Amino acid sequence: MKHLLALVMVMLLSFSAFAQNERFELNFKDNKVIHNDSDWEFLMHEYTYDFLVSKKIHMLDNDNFIVHSYIEFDTPYTYSAFNEPTHKIYTMGVMSCSRKAFMLLRQVYVKEDSNIQVIQPIQPNEYVSEVETPGTARNQMYLKVCSGEIV
């Protein structure tokens, strides 16, 4: 019950944060993601992609942060659901430092020409990833965000 109450609080804080204009958001125009390299910090190369995180995150409380990240494939990846290969996947979610977990809330799949293939909303708690495995991109993101290095 405590975990459910904590999750509800994080969600309420997340939704109230969306109303604030000063936090980072992806820019869209004409079904394209307007990408600005200066908004992102490279964290590491993992398997077949580069992993980057937004230089600006939004603190929900002392323990939870809204974080945007994206991966850029070395070679665009072909998903069976799309007619054309995916070049990047942008994500948005909540990093919980005390739970050592990242709750994914949205993914944006983008073709090489920056056109959006799909925006996939994800229900809270549908996809929660642990972030403690050393040497992984998600661990690098956790260390950067929860150390206060990015704000």
> Is 146 in contact with 71 (CB distance < 8 Å)?
no
d(CA 151, CA 14) in angstroms, rounded, equals 16
d(CA 46, CA 123) in angstroms, rounded, equals 26
Say what the pTM is. Answer: 0.83
Q: What is the pLDDT along the chain (151 residues), one digit of tens a residue?
A: 444 434 444 444 444 444 444 556 888 999 999 999 999 999 999 999 999 999 999 999 989 999 999 999 999 999 999 999 999 999 999 999 999 999 999 999 999 999 999 999 999 999 999 999 999 999 999 999 999 877 5
> Is 99 in contact with 145 (CB distance < 8 Å)?
no
Which domains are present in the chain?
Answer: 2-146 (2.40.128.710)
First and final CA of the chain: distance in angstroms?
Answer: 31
- Residue-level pLDDT at 5: 39
- Residue-level pLDDT at 116: 97
With CA atoms as reference, report the closest residue to 105 among 119, 131, 130, 123.
Answer: 123
